[in-house]
């Protein structure tokens, strides 16, 4: 690697934390805010969709989505996300982070609105168009994972890089929280404006015609935060690391850094812009033997741990309906009208997000650059294993009404250590340990592995956790292995995640070039104290 390029990047590594870093967190983080809102808000309205489109006259219980329709409505966005992570991750390394960043956001805005419109009047027409647009919404969301993580890692200095990437990811918690709050507000307004009797009193009148607007408004609201940040995303310059290491334009990288980070950086000589033969020595491809030697185990570790984590993380919704019903947060469906059920579900999920989800993310932000990624991931997987096992072994004990509060506490702690643990670190580490020209691609592969785990956790265990007695399963589902046995399987997944975490390197306090080995071509890394660089703040 050209020493001039390393000198440019060494200034970035020691740059003082300043306002633009926080601006970048907000710009990238609002994408993740939107991602989480769009992915999780569908669970708030699936019961309503069942009542509106699948109710049958004379049936004692409100209508519900058939298993195959429920799987499609809830899972099609995950499938789109998986493919988007792979495609946009690869494209971000080919075309540059900035060029691709706007594409993903525009796709998210358009498809959020279109999901709420869901053209058609028949049940099949509405469900088909809803699934179609949510697939492409997920495709756009998928691109946000590798691009947001990569951009933030390449902008940040090495001292606070972990906290800034974690802060971007932590916006996911606020997205989940906001989804619940929007659903509460919309359903409360409609509940007050269009009162209706409970289903048990009058099945046909319990779902007012205006209820069809509720789910559409909730889904379409996801376009707003994404649209508000589109202009600022387009104003962000390409990252200096991509410009210097991939585009081979160290002079432009220095100019961009001087502009956005408010530091004075001496312009690199023009000769650095002309790639020399020795600059190409380390440019191995993703499928090369050299990549396998240097980073093969790293990619295996990041992909496997993310896969195992998401199996456990996304399967936790198996217990939500039982927990919420047991502690009285959600009454039996027949005792509510359609809009009130949305209100109750949204309120319960908002409380879970507020108490268990959001705090875990911000504990990671506060501590990741102090105790390191490796420690947080190991501790997180360890306690997820412990708490999941503590739920599984005495499951019959927790099932008793007098012990439901204890079950909720254990459930909340599992969520907390997922977020103050591997749910955050699996997002952060792949953005730090791979070479610049493959960083977005490798993060996309790791994230796609996680989304595959999410599909297994959300839908595989939805079937697996069904009662072993066919007469006690949910409508339309075959017999499964039961919740207790499912908990044992999830415990094993967490334990395997703990073991694979020992293959993940610690990146705390190290430059991206040091982690990826891109500083080895010249034999040493350019010193951060090089006299050619003046890293002092310029008053704004």
Query: What is the pLDDT, as a whole number, of residue 446?
Result: 97
Query: What is the pLDDT, as a whole number, of residue 282?
Result: 55
Query: What is the pLDDT, as a whole number, of residue 531?
Result: 34
Report CA torsion sign: 146, 151, 156, 158. positive
Are 43 and 182 in contact, with CB atoms under 8 Å apart? no
Model confidence pTM above 0.85:
yes
Other C-beta atoms closer than 10 Å to the C-beta of 79 total: 19
How much is the average pLDDT of 273-295? Answer: 71
- Determine the straight-line distance between the first and last CA of the chain, rounded to whole angstroms: 34
**Which residue did the predictor score with more confidence, 474 or 327?**
474
**Rounded CA separation 164/512 (Å):** 14
Other C-beta atoms closer than 10 Å to the C-beta of 224 total: 14
Write the DSSP string, 274-298. Answer: S--GGGGTT---TTSHHHHHHHHHH
> Any idea where the domains of the chain sit in the sequence?
1-266+291-512
**Rounded CA separation 62/207 (Å):** 10
Confidence of residue 528 (pLDDT cuts 50, 70, 90): very low
Residues of the chain above pLDDT 90, percent: 43
Top-ranked range on mean pLDDT: pick from 10-14, 230-234, 368-372: 368-372
Query: What is the pLDDT, as a whole number, of residue 500?
Result: 96
Structure tokens at 61: 């219980």
Query: What is the pLDDT, as a whole number, of residue 280?
Result: 52
CATH number of 1-266+291-512: 1.20.1250.20
Question: Does pLDDT of 371 surpass 80?
Answer: yes
Q: What is the mean pLDDT of the chain?
A: 83
Query: What is the pLDDT, as a whole number, of residue 271?
Result: 43
What letter does residue 539 receive in the DSSP assignment?
P
**Rounded CA separation 248/196 (Å):** 65
Q: Give residue-wise pLDDT tens across range 392-402.
A: 888 778 777 77
Residue 281, phi then psi, degrees to nearest 5: -65, -35
Q: Give residue-wise pLDDT tens across range 318-348.
A: 566 556 665 667 788 889 999 999 999 899 8
Q: Give residue-wise pLDDT tens across range 126-184.
A: 999 999 999 999 999 999 999 999 998 988 888 889 999 999 999 988 999 999 999 99
Question: Does pLDDT of 526 surpass 50?
Answer: no
Q: Give residue-wise pLDDT tens across range 106-134.
A: 999 999 999 998 877 789 999 999 999 99
Q: Give residue-wise pLDDT tens across range 408-461.
A: 788 778 888 999 999 999 999 999 999 988 999 999 999 999 999 999 888 887
């Amino acid at each position: 690697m050209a020493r001039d390029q390393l000198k440019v990047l060494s200034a970035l590594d020691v740059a003082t934390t300043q306002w633009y870093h926080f601006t970048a967190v907000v710009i990238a983080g609002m994408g993740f805010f939107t991602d989480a809102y769009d992915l999780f808000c569908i669970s708030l309205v699936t019961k309503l969709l069942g009542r509106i489109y699948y109710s049958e006259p004379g049936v004692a219980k409100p209508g519900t989505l058939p298993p195959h329709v429920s799987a499609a409505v809830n899972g099609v966005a995950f499938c789109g996300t998986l493919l988007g992570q792979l495609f946009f991750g690869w494209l971000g390394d080919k075309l540059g982070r900035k060029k691709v960043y706007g594409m993903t956001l525009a796709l998210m805005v358009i498809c959020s609105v279109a999901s709420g419109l869901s053209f058609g009047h028949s049940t099949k027409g509405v469900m088909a168009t809803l699934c179609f647009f949510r697939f492409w919404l997920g495709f756009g969301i998928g691109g946000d994972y590798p691009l947001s993580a990569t951009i933030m890692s390449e902008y940040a200095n090495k001292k606070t890089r972990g906290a800034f990437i974690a802060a971007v990811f932590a916006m996911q918690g606020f997205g989940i929280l906001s989804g619940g709050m929007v659903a509460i507000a919309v359903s409360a307004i409609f509940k007050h404006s269009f009162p209706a009797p409970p289903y048990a009193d009058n099945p046909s009148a319990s779902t007012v015609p205006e209820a069809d607007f509720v789910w559409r408004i909730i889904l379409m609201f996801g376009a707003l935060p994404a649209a508000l940040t589109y202009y600022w995303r387009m104003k962000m310059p390409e990252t200096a690391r991509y410009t210097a290491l991939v585009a081979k334009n160290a002079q432009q990288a220095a100019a961009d850094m001087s502009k956005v980070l408010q530091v004075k950086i001496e312009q690199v000589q023009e000769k650095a812009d002309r790639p020399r033969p020795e600059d190409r020595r380390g440019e191995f491809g993703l499928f090369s033997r050299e990549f396998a030697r240097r980073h093969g185990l790293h990619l295996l570790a990041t992909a496997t741990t993310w896969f195992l984590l998401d199996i456990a993380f996304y399967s936790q919704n198996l217990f939500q309906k039982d927990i919420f019903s047991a502690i009285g947060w959600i009454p039996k469906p027949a005792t509510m009208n359609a809009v009130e059920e949305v209100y109750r579900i949204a309120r319960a999920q908002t409380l879970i997000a507020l108490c268990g989800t959001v705090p875990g993310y911000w504990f990671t932000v506060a501590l990741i650059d102090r105790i390191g990624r490796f420690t947080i991931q190991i501790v997180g997987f360890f306690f997820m294993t412990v708490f999941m096992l503590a739920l599984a072994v005495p499951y019959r004990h927790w099932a008793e009404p007098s012990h439901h509060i204890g079950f909720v506490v254990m459930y909340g702690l599992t969520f907390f250590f997922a977020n103050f643990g591997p749910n955050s670190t699996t997002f952060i580490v792949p953005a730090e340990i791979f070479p610049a020209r493959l960083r977005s691609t490798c993060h996309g592969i790791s994230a796609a592995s996680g989304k595959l785990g999410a599909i297994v956790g959300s839908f595989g265990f939805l079937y697996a956790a069904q009662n072993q007695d066919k007469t006690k399963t949910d409508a339309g589902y075959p017999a499964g292995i039961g919740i207790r046995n499912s908990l044992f399987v999830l415990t094993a997944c967490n334990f395997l995640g703990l073991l694979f975490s020992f293959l993940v390197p610690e990146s705390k306090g190290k430059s991206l070039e040091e982690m990826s080995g891109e500083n080895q071509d010249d034999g040493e890394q350019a010193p951060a104290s090089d006299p050619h660089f003046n890293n002092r703040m310029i008053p704004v």
